[in-house]
Amino acid sequence: MPKYDAEFFKSLDSSILDVLDGETLPPECYTDPDFYEFEKESLFSKEWLCVGRESWVGEAGDYFTTQIADEPIVVARARDGNLYAMSSVCQHRAMLVAEGHGNTRGFVCPYHHWTYSLKGDLVGAPAMNKTCNFDKKEHSLPKFKVEVWLGFIFVHFDINAEPLAPRLEQVTNAIAGYDLENAEGPRPGDAPHLQWNWKVMFENNNDGYHASRLHQGPLHDFVPSEQASFPKAPKGAAGYLRFNGTTHADASFNPTQKAVLPVFAGLNEEQRNRMTFANIPPTLSLVLTADMVIYMILRPTGAGSLEMDTGVLVAPGAMEDAAFEPKMEMIMNSTHHIIAQDWHVDELVQIGLRSRFAKRGRYSWQESAQQQFNEWLVDRYKSHFFEQAPRIFESEVNSEMVD
């Protein structure tokens, strides 16, 4: 039998019970390289993956590269004005055809100078004229489906994938006042290499339980854990929410505890008296305050590691304020203090999950977002496994017959 069999996947049902009855996922889901390989097929190969912001490729010829779950990706704005996403792996000898970001007329593999258009089509292959039955059309970069949601670029490895936006209606409506399509912000800097499982990061980003404990103090006490609430996600939804009431309107993570940047114009009174947390697994997590949105794009690199692009968005025109930089510095000094606390805990959680004494724990009501995350995960784990099960069984039978 395979390491993860039908009995194992059926045991995950206890993680999708009501939060007061349920338990956490098994520790090996966070630590085992074999399970990570399973996730690459069951999740990352089958879901929409956030790769960046549309503003990063605003002009024809603009491009950027990224990598998610061992797949190198390049996104480009072609001369026709459309966005294209594709593998950045040269179809000759697997050299990457692009690195970093910039503006270009096309992609030239530095190894042997195979040349690709901004759409990924192979347009030049030196000294291949003597190669038998060589057709350039058969050696283009593999293309991915692209969808832009609220200014965020998503890609799907299946070019025939169903659209993402219809399954994000609840999240879209909840954060409509932020007008994220037009929100502004600098491109994130280099992504840090983090030594914990991507799910540990995802869970921390939307965990209401730890807020009043780990972050206790003047930089966070105005977002108390007991004011957390968790709207139930519709069946089949691609994302889920946490609302967290604040002790005063327009609360913000800085020493004044109040917004110092312009408040997003579309927010109503209720929205200005809470913070909103939105997750679109497996790659995008949002923290929305009255005057700033923090977005985190999670890119796993292994069972116990990931890279994460962290950026900020502000209301249109906010960056034109002469005092924008010092105001932002004040905010970021506070958020960096909070992030440091989170990252220290995440690292220790990963160590704990590898222990023989790690167990499936129980939840507080303030962890209801974790139960929603589990629902998203377990549904996909089981669907993929039981889809593959007949082939796994047939392979085992054939193997036994050969033996």
Longest dimension (CA), the chain: 76
What is the rounded average pLDDT of the residues 38-61?
Answer: 98
Distant-in-sequence, close-in-space partners of 361: CB < 8 Å, separation ≥ 6:
23, 24
Q: Is the pLDDT of residue 151 over 90?
A: yes
Q: Which two tokens stand for residue 278?
A: 């939105």
pLDDT tens column, 76-94: 999 999 999 999 999 999 9
What local confidence, expressed as pLDDT, does residue 143 receive? 97
Q: What is the mean pLDDT of residues 56-72?
A: 97
Residue 220: the pLDDT is: 86
**pLDDT computed for residue 393 by the predictor:** 44
Q: Is the pLDDT of residue 392 over 60?
A: no
Q: Which domains does the chain have, with CATH numbers?
A: 49-163 (2.102.10.10), 184-372 (3.90.380.10)
For residue 1, the model assigns a pLDDT of: 35
In the structure, what pLDDT confidence band is assigned to residue 3 with cuts at 50, 70 and 90? confident
Confidence at residue 303, expressed as pLDDT on a 0 to 100 scale:
97
Residue the block writes with tokens 């999708």:
16
Q: Residues 212-243, buried b or exposed e (16+ Cβ, 10 A)?
A: bebbeeebbebbebebbebeebeeebbbbbbb
Average confidence (pLDDT) over 20-44: 97
For residues 384 and 294, what is the distance between their CA atoms, to the nearest angstrom? Answer: 32
Q: Please report which confidence band the pLDDT of residue 391 belongs to, taking 50, 70 and 90 as the band edges.
A: low
**Position 218 confidence tier, pLDDT thresholds 50, 70, 90:** confident
| CB distance 202 to 191 below 8 Å | no
| pLDDT tens track for 340-378 | 999 999 999 999 999 999 999 999 999 999 999 999 999
